[in-house]
Amino acid sequence: MATDTAAGITASHFTAARIKDMARPVDASALMRLLPARPRLLALGEPTHREDALLDLRNDLFRQLVEQEGCRTIAIESDCMKGLLVDDYVTEGKGGTLDEVLERGISHDWGSSPANRELIRWMRAYNVRADNDGRPASDRLRFAGFDGPLEITHAASPRQALTALHRYLAARVDADLLPCTADVLDRLLGADEQWTNPAAMMDPVQSAGQSAEAGRLRLLADDLVALLDEQTPHLLATTSRQELDRARLYGRTATGLLRYHHWMADTSPARMARLLGVRDQMMAHNLIAVAEAAEAAEAAEAAEPAERAPAPAFVHAHNSHLQREKSTMQMWRGPVEWWSAGSLVSARLGEEYAFVATALGTIRHQGVDTPPPDTLEGLLYELPQDPCAIDAPRLAAALAGTLPALRVSPWFGYAPLDPAHLADCDGLVFVKDVPRS
């Protein structure tokens, strides 16, 4: 922000005073008041991963949303297939001990986080209740991972999702309607190692994604998903809504993984943009499904649906996955752009999707020190309230014509908030100092 003239200094001080007036304590009611409408999905972003201070804040907000707003679902940036194990644990106590569920049910090695452990422990305790009688199914908290079964180095085999979908259909529809047998799928899938080979990320030639078998699997997966859709009336009458929703998740995951592996084997300049785009598309489809499932559960519970305000599902992930703008990343072959999951969901849900970004001042244990005063984070760092919530569109209007500089991060794991994106955020949470987890 320009401050090299008397007029600039006056404008800077005036803006700082207006920002101070906008800052509010961070709680669920404050966030909900920032939103233009009551959303079906309330997304809270973070600018870095693996910091328990940010996850503790997420946990506090989720508890408040549960207790004050009727929220019953949280979806985090974790493997959607593994997330089913966590959901079984928090709703039914299945799947082993808490430690076992955290190890097997949360991806990216985030199950070891004390904050993630506390989230799952609290959800299970809430569902059990103090009298150990258990809450009714319609009132239980639900957990979802909404990322694909993907890591930055590799992607999972489509075997688990594809065979689970086939098994679900084979048990419920006429065998003559199935496009193949389980044995045919097993033969075409081959060894899982050919799908999960980490060398394929850097060398497309080592990917199995464009083999003749992979092409055949994509057609079969499409046929299985189409059959699932065609048989919806029968399946709704003979299976639970939860089982059908899971089968749809298997279908989305199988087709998404096969598409991802196809582009893993691609050698064109579009390869990385397509891989990142497919991943966020998978995320977006999963988030839409989370919103639909939460809405269906609430409608089934409500005696007078028209008189009830909808309860949002809560979403937590990196800002770059939840923002409404295109996401960007610097890769080894240059910058890459793709449409984020948030942009895709927002295009579908409109004001029923709300995005609150998180910005922060310091992560000193990662070399991220006090932000320069001419950046957005530098302006916010002077606020006395920590953490604080701010009306992002109102802040953008206050900064009009004097847009702060974009902060440059000395550490690759932290992405500063682009001031140009403020107007497209519904709210902003600012955390001044992030201590070592």
Backbone angles phi, psi at 302, to 5 degrees: -80, 130
Amino acid at 123: M
- Which residues have C-beta within 8 Å of that of residue 278, sequence separation ≥ 6? 256, 259, 260, 263
Phi, psi of 316, rounded to the nearest 5 degrees = -135, 130
Mean residue pLDDT of the chain comes to: 93
Q: Is pLDDT at 303 greater than 60 in this prediction?
A: no
What DSSP designation does 282 have?
A: H
Whose tokens are 């899938």? That residue is 189
**Burial (Cβ within 10 Å: 0-12, 13-18, ≥19) of residue 332:** exposed
Tens-digit pLDDT profile for residues 116-145: 999 999 999 999 985 567 788 889 999 999
Within 10 A of 24 (CB to CB), how many other CB atoms are there?
A: 17
DSSP string, 206-227: G--TTSHHHHHHHHHHHHHHHH
Reduced to 3 states (helix: H, G, I; strand: E, B; else coil), residue 380 is: helix
The reported pLDDT for the residue numbered 132 is: 64
pLDDT digits (tens, 9 = 90+) for 163-197: 999 999 999 999 999 999 999 999 999 999 999 99
Give CA–CA dist 49/369, Å, rounded.
Answer: 17
pLDDT class of 2 with cuts at 50, 70, 90: very low
Helix (H) / strand (E) element for 316: namely strand 313-318
Do residues 81 and 160 lie in contact, with contact meaning Cβ atoms separated by under 8 Å? yes
The mean pLDDT of 14-21, rounded to a whole number, is 75
State mean pLDDT over 345-350.
98
* Dihedral sign, Cα of residue 122, residue 124, residue 126, residue 128: negative
Identify which has the larger pLDDT, 5 or 314. 314
pLDDT at 339 over 70: yes
Residue 8 scores a pLDDT above 80: no
Mean pLDDT, residues 224-249: 97
For residue range 255-284, list pLDDT tens digits in order. Answer: 999 999 999 999 999 999 999 999 999 999
pTM of the entire structure?
0.94
In the chain, % of residues over pLDDT 90: 84
pLDDT at 298: 77
Instruction: Please tell me the number of Cα atoms within 13 Å of 176 on its side-chain side.
Output: 0
Mean pLDDT for the stretch of residues 80-90 = 98
Angle at 221 between CA 217 and CA 225, to 5 degrees: 175
For 417-436, the pLDDT digits (tens) are 999 999 999 999 999 999 99
Question: What's the pLDDT at 9?
Answer: 40
CA distance 115 to 60: 10
The pLDDT, as a whole number, for residue 205 is 96
pLDDT tens column, 57-69? 999 999 999 999 9
DSSP 366-377: GTB-SPPTTBHH
User: Is-contact 258 217, C-beta < 8 A?
Assistant: yes
pLDDT value of residue 308: 56
The answer for residues whose C-beta is within 8 angstroms of residue 352's C-beta and 6 or more apart is: 37, 39, 40, 41, 291
| DSSP code at position 370 | S
Query: CA geometry: angle at 190 spanning 186 and 192, to 5°?
Result: 110
Q: How many angstroms separate the CA atoms of 300 and 379, rounded?
A: 47
Can you tell me whether residue 375 is helix, strand or coil?
Answer: strand
Share of the chain above pLDDT 70, in %: 94
- Nearest-angstrom CA–CA distance, 289 and 354: 16
Q: Is the pLDDT of residue 11 over 70?
A: no
CA distances to 83, 253, 342, 378 from 88, rounded to whole Å, are 9, 19, 27, 44
Question: In the predicted model, is pLDDT for residue 26 greater than 60?
Answer: yes
- Write down the pLDDT at residue 334: 79
